[in-house]
Structure 1
Amino acid sequence: MAQPKKKADRNLDRSSWVAAARKTLIEKGISGISLRQLAEELGATTGAFYWQFGNLEELLEEVRRDWADRNTAPFTEAIESAGDDGWQQYLAYVSVLLKEDQYVPAYDNAVRDWAHSSLRTAEVLRETEALRIEQLRRIFIALGFEGRAASVRAHVTYFSQTGYNAMQVTEPREERLLNVPYYADVLTDRQDLLRLKTAQDVSNHILADKRAKS
């Protein structure tokens, strides 16, 4: 017997299912995603799912691409808006990390966990991380570093950030802001930010630089 239509069915599109799967992936991991669970989350019938997708794997592929686009685009847009100046590009990159209004570290963590049990997810993860590291390498080249010096700084910057997120470090925001000038000093050999004495000064300086370029 066919399932009766629910009121929500007619209002759902592919993006609705992707959003529900994304939320579940972040909160419960890949093991928490099932067709029945997603339908319940959306107040829909499982039949409504098949109007949009051929199977669950088709949805999961869209989730992989949603992650790659959604969690990388903020960096791409910020860096491009900063122009050709390497220092401004670096500050734009840091501003995305500080704001966390578009980039979602928990989404990265969820996808990395998923990659342990999915070869396809691991492949998308490798491709996306290679792109992000290349973005950073180009920043360091713009800052005047060459060859291996630019590459190693890019890797150290990326790996320190991913490790920070994976460990779910819960330091106060003020402490994190006060550390930013020292990270910049170590990674870029620029001491510009060391003159900033308070967390608010750091925040104002970096976010103001981003707004000025937008």
Structure 2
Amino acid sequence: MDDVVAHKTKGWRGSEDLWLEKAYDMLIGSGVEAVKIMPLAKALGLSRTSFYWHFEDRDALLAALVRRWEKKNTGNLVERCERYAETITEAVFNLFDCWIDDTLFDAKLDFAIRNWAQSAPKLKKRLENTDRDRIEAIGGMFTRYGYSKEQADVRSHTIYYTQVGYISMMVEEPMDIRIRRMPDYIETYTGRQPSQTEIERFIGRHRELLTS
């Protein structure tokens, strides 16, 4: 028994994060049907039985992927919507960080989950609830800055559906171009022009992505 514990400590069965990361790669690259125990074990150079030290079964692994998606994408989006800002334009810039920084919002994972949900009714329902929660968070951001409930509803749907369109259509837009367009997007979404200071602060957060 001590030998087993020693081997596990040394990581010979991998770790939960290692299995989950490889499952993520397969989900992103080939879809949920590719996420299976034997291919995962082979890709990691580990035994099939090693998997069961970390997950009860394939369903448990898939559930962990969904939790990862909700925690990262929805969690960060909601946090950005609730983050302090002096103006609505600054608040929307905070949200726009999610569209630029993949450590905040993983667009590839969102795309993979949406594809997976088309053949998984329970996940589709969960996705619908998640979309609703995200839109409500964006709408709440607008109401905090004096927009009516009706205005907030329309503006939040417009922002969110535009981004989902980017994801679903797999738009490949140079990031420097997208960043430079964002002040105009904000004026479109809010009806107000961001200040030059707000624009410079936003660009400064993402300056390494600007190629010119």
TM-score tier by shorter-chain length is 0.7 to 0.9
Q: Distance in 2 between matches of 1:79 and 1:38?
A: 37
Are residues 1:187 and 2:183 paired?
no
When residues 181 and 87 of structure 1 are mapped into structure 2, their CA distance, relative to the original with a 3 A threshold, is closer
Q: Is the 8 A contact 2:139 2:153 kept in 1?
A: yes
Look up the match of 2:153.
151
1:102 & 1:11 partners in 2: Cα distance?
Answer: 30
Structure 1 residue aligned with 2:72: 70
Query: Aligned partner of 1:75: which letter?
Result: L
Q: Normalising by the residue count of structure 2, what TM-score does the alignment of the two structures yield?
A: 0.83
CA distance in structure 2 between the aligned counterparts of 1:71 and 1:209, rounded to whole angstroms: 19
Give the number of aligned pairs.
200
2:58 counterpart residue number? 56
Structure 1 gaps of 5+ residues are: none
Q: Could you tell me how far 1:173 is from its partner in structure 2?
A: 2.2
The whole-number CA distance in structure 2 between the counterparts of 1:83 and 1:182 is 19
Q: 1:44: Cα distance to partner?
A: 1.1
**2:201 counterpart of 1:205:** yes
Q: Does 1:126 align with 2:128?
A: yes
Aligned position for 1:168? 170
Name the amino acid aligned to 1:206. F
Q: 1:14 to 1:174 in 2, by over 3 A?
A: closer
**SS in structure 1 opposite 2:171?**
coil
SS in structure 2 opposite 1:52? coil
83-92 or 20-29, which moves further after superposition?
Answer: 83-92
SS at match of 1:151: helix
The residue type equivalent to 2:40 in the other structure is L
For residues 124-155 of structure 1, the C-alpha deviation after alignment (integer angstroms, 9 at most, x for no partner) is 21222111111100111123211221111111
Q: Which runs of 4+ in 1 moved over 4 A?
A: 5-9, 207-210
CA RMSD of aligned residues (A): 2.7
Cα distance in 1 between the residues matched to 2:37 and 2:10: 15
User: Alignment identity in percent?
Assistant: 26
Segments of 5+ residues of structure 2 without an aligned counterpart are 1-6, 207-212
Counterpart-to-counterpart distance in 2, 1:186 and 1:55: 47
Contact 2:37–2:48 under 8 Å retained in 1: yes
TM-score normalized with structure 1 length = 0.82
Match of 2:91 in 1: 89
Bigger shift: residues 116-125 or 9-18: 9-18
Q: 1:121 to 1:151 in 2, by over 3 A?
A: same
